Structure 1
């Protein structure tokens, strides 16, 4: 998180912004690697494939919709409220475990949430980000994709158990 904050402060200072993006990517990759250590190889491959197909499909859809004049800025309040609700339910689940069915439902909601974030952030990249804001746009999309992958990993792990 600290690297993310520093990266936003140095967003317009080249080459510091590139260095911070690289540092953030390495740190985030270590986190994903640690998460993958506890999963089977087959599940990791399935999650990777599903995430790749979803990201490509959502990106192509957003570019197609942007060409036709659609705007996805209206999604922000829904995405923010859903994120807060998921955080609250996750905290409740820590103190009062509700079983694998509730974990599965929360994981599906999170997957839909990050699909919405991919559409929203891609739309912002196309329409609202200036040329100098590519580091911020890259970071937001990277976070969305990684979180979607981790969510798919969670869903497939629950199904496998």
Structure 2
């Protein structure tokens, strides 16, 4: 990939960390990449805030839970909500570089996924939700800091891509098997732990891509990748804590 703004050795004479290269052999201007990184984390923060607001409304308003549990229409809507983010991702992929459609589709994608997360939380104890949220935040921050530190020292995590993709396929197939052939509490805990490890790997992999590989007009797609890593890690940990709490 060609960088539009080559990095110049003289840019680091002031010694400021923001003008130092993020990784060895960096060719672009570090200030531009740092600006891009800040933009991504700002978008992800807004997505997470929207998710918390929507999920909190779903959990707090009892008629919403009653509708989804006691009516056939609620079941149909629930199924639609599960597949809605996947459906929205198709036009989002096509329009992710076109403003303002990229932001509109991103908002729809986030809201529908947040509603599904809220429904999951609605039937989970507050203790489990809090434990999962705290551990997700700690793990995400720790892995993000570690990745920036490791990349600065020349570590490259691009090799994780094929392994994580294969692990994800196994995880999806195993999830479908559990739908038709429900397994016990131990199996659910193992599934949640394995899923947690996979999404920890994805956080490192996507952060590495954020630092090195995403172009400046791919900010929406980069934000979606990190947001999904966080949400999926949270749901996986919630499965573990819920199984342990039952």
Give the unaligned 5+ runs of structure 2.
1-85
Q: Distance in 2 between matches of 1:124 and 1:69?
A: 14
Give the unaligned 5+ runs of structure 1.
none
Select the residue among 86, 108, 122 that pairs with 1:23.
108
Higher relative contact order (CA 8 A, sep 6+): 1
Larger deviation, residues 92-101 vs 15-24: 92-101
Bigger share in helix? 1
Larger deviation, residues 85-94 vs 141-150: 85-94
Give the TM-score, by structure 1 length.
0.96
Partner secondary structure for residue 98 of structure 1: coil
Q: Distance in 2 between matches of 1:143 and 1:97?
A: 25
1:39 and 2:124 are equivalent in the alignment: yes
Alignment RMSD (CA, Å): 1.0
Deviation at 1:102, TM superposition (A): 1.3
Select the residue among 41, 65, 80 that pairs with 2:165.
80
Q: Distance in 2 between matches of 1:95 and 1:52?
A: 33
Give 1 or 2 for the bigger CA radius of gyration: 2
Give the TM-score, by structure 2 length.
0.64
Deviation at 1:130, TM superposition (A): 0.9
Deviation at 1:90, TM superposition (A): 2.0
Q: What is the number of equivalent residue pairs in this alignment? A: 161
Q: Distance in 2 between matches of 1:16 and 1:151?
A: 31
Which residue is equivalent to 1:92? 177
Q: Distance in 2 between matches of 1:3 and 1:34?
A: 19
Q: Distance in 2 between matches of 1:95 and 1:35?
A: 19
